Amino acid sequence: MTSATPVNLMGLDRTALERFFAELGEPRFRATQVMKWIHQHGITDFSVMTNLSKGLRELLTERAEIRLPRVALDQASEDGTHKWLVRVDSGNCVETVLIPEPDRVTLCISSQVGCALDCTFCATAQQGFNRNLSSDEIVGQLWLAARQLPELRISNVVFMGMGEPLTNFDNVVQAINIMLDDFGYGLSKRRVTLSTSGVVPALDRFGDVCDVALAVSLHAPDDELRNRLVPINRKYPIATLLQACQRYLDKQPGNRQRVTWEYVMIDGVNDSDQHARALARLIRNIPSKVNLIPFNPFPGTRFARSSAERISGFRDILMAAGVVTITRRTRGDDIDAACGQLAGEVQDRSRRPVRMARLQVSA
């Protein structure tokens, strides 16, 4: 008799685990028992799961596994930020960043090995695209970070590491379900943020199944400039994107949600007073918050960071127009852990001309 490949329970949300146990003829509550062992107690060995019968533990050892990616490198920044290089297969690593702050501890996770989107100011884009991460590889980053530094309670998760989460839809949704589940990590939906460059059809689908916080990488107030910085804008221009964001908020009445607009401040490119005024006008009808991100340089980039004066001038214009604006503090740049600096180790399987084509198929 040949035995089937073991199922990795690490990446199964409650519904999927209930289905798994139903197929074994076991009651539904086995799903929550096992979720607690894995995600709350950090147990990966079935033999330790003492509230399961010995027979079931043996069966699980045959049919299932709890497999995690491996930490290949652990770096700590002087400011307390940690960056892990996480090996997901023999050729590829992604990066995960932990950012402790006085009032919260945020984990920035990756959703893909590389990225297919080609944003001109982002280090990950230069790596090309290799593959989607599976749900166990996504949630595994949270599992690993929580075990590596157990004294820091992770309160927030942001999908702002490598990759475009909305082009890895099912795996990202399943991982989010585990993060929000009371038997998983029990994170509040306002403390899990999906960041997207604006894959409009996928954003609409996402709003049908999830109601976590939404961040959108805008970076320019007009299509001409955004087409150059965020090429997916040619497919889903700003007006279309804004309507989709409004629809996302409308699906969660009473939730007091707003969109966080991410805006990377690039010297002489998108940082003038006119840009600030156009941005304020553009978003005035959507509940919004603007997050200004000082551009983080990486080898080979032709862009530079706006000066501190320019960033505060830009911010003042937005604030005067009534837009809540914060400037993201650059964290972990001594270990290349800041926004847009995550490169991991990617065996690029994409070639630039075919990348947009692939995107159109998956979007």
Q: What does the binding site for ligand SAH look like in residue numbers (CB under 6 A)?
A: 119, 121-122, 160, 164, 195-197, 217, 262, 264, 293, 295-296, 339-340
Strand order in the sheet with 92-101: 70-76, 82-89, 92-101, 104-108, 156-159, 192-196, 213-217, 259-265, 288-294, 325-327
CA distance 220 to 203: 19
Min separation Cβ 333 and ligand SAH, Å: 10
Min separation Cβ 128 and ligand SAH, Å: 14
For ligand SAH, give the closer residue by CB, 64 or 264. 264
Residues labelled catalytic: 95, 339
Min separation Cβ 158 and ligand SAH, Å: 8
For ligand SAH, give the closer residue by CB, 262 or 271. 262
CA distance 160 to 125: 13
Min separation Cβ 196 and ligand SAH, Å: 5
CB-based closest residue to ligand SAH: 340
Q: In sequence order, what are the residues at sequence separation of 6 or more whose Cβ sits closer than 8 angstroms to the Cβ of residue 218?
A: 226, 238, 261, 262, 263, 279
For ligand SAH, give the closer residue by CB, 39 or 355. 355
Q: Which residues of 302-319 are buried (b: 16+ CB within 10 A; e: fewer)?
A: ebebbeeebbeebbebbe
Cite the beta strand spans of 77-124 per DSSP E.
82-89, 92-101, 104-108, 112-114
CA distance 218 to 87: 30
CA distance 220 to 106: 26
For ligand SAH, give the closer residue by CB, 171 or 296. 296
For ligand SAH, give the closer residue by CB, 264 or 318. 264
Min separation Cβ 106 and ligand SAH, Å: 12
CA-CA-CA-CA torsion sign (102, 252, 174, 118): negative
Give Cα 294 distance to the centre of its chain. 19
**238-250 helix and 200-209 helix, angle to the nearest 10 degrees:** 0
